[in-house]
Every structure is written in structure tokens, then in C-alpha cells.
């Protein structure tokens, strides 16, 4: 007999790249918060990932963009993405 009320956990999914339009990625993040709190992180290759907070993998702090909940503002997420993009570009120029 199937169990009611249990959903298959969502796996982390790529929602874009830091090289993409941050507005589009921010809208994807906001849409993902409709299902609950999400953790966002960015790989060393600049790929942006999203997963529900309760199923998110362990990620080094330097890769975590943040945790967002329903009610988060798109502009705040855009600013976070832009700040991370700028930091990564600055770091790559220095090294």
C-alpha cells in the first residue's frame, strides 16, 4: 500500500550559471521557494544549484550563496548573485 503524504525528495538541480542573466536565475530561485526553503550554491565552474534545505548536500561555505524562503525578494537574490559574480571575477583577476 503506498504511503500518503510522502513525496520523493527533489535532487539538487542546476538553475543556471553565474555567466547567465542574474535576473532569470533570481526568478528561478524565487519560484523554487514556493515549495519551501531552498539552499543555493555555486560550483567552482560557476554553475548555480538549488535544493530544498532539508535535502541539500553538504557544501563548503565558500560555495553557498544563501538560503531563501518564501517571501524573499527577487532584487535581494539578484544582488547576492551579482556580488558573488563580482567576487569570483575579482579573485580570478588577482590569481
Rounded mean pLDDT, 30-40 = 95
What is the distance between the alpha carbons of residues 75 and 80, in angstroms, rounded to a whole number? 9
Q: What is the DSSP letter of 3?
A: P
Residue 74 belongs to a domain: yes
CA 49 to chain centroid: 5
- Give the pLDDT of residue 57: 92
Residue 7 belongs to a domain: no
Quote the domain boundaries for residue 22: 13-94
pTM of structure: 0.80
Rounded mean pLDDT, 32-43 = 94
Could you tell me the pLDDT band of residue 12, with boundaries at 50, 70 and 90? confident
Torsions phi, psi for 29 (to 5 deg): -65, -45
62 pLDDT exceeds 80? yes
Residue 30 belongs to a domain: yes
Could you tell me the pLDDT band of residue 1, with boundaries at 50, 70 and 90? very low
Residue 52 belongs to a domain: yes
The position carrying cell 542546476 is 14
Residue 72 belongs to a domain: yes
89 pLDDT exceeds 90? no
Residue 2 belongs to a domain: no
Render 23-43 in DSSP notation, one character per residue.
HHHHHHHHHHGGGS-EEEEE-
E strand or H helix at 79: helix 74-94
How many independent structural domains does the chain possess? 1
Residue 23 belongs to a domain: yes
Residue 6 belongs to a domain: no
Amino acid at each position: 500500500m503506498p504511503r500518503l503524504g510522502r513525496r520523493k525528495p527533489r535532487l539538487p538541480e542546476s538553475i543556471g550559471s553565474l555567466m547567465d542573466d542574474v535576473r532569470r536565475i533570481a526568478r528561478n530561485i524565487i519560484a523554487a521557494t514556493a515549495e519551501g526553503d531552498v539552499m543555493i550554491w555555486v560550483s567552482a565552474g560557476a554553475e548555480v544549484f538549488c535544493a530544498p534545505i532539508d535535502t541539500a548536500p553538504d557544501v563548503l561555505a565558500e560555495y553557498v550563496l544563501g538560503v531563501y524562503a518564501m517571501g524573499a525578494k527577487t532584487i535581494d537574490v539578484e544582488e547576492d548573485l551579482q556580488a558573488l559574480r563580482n567576487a569570483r571575477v575579482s579573485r580570478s583577476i588577482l590569481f
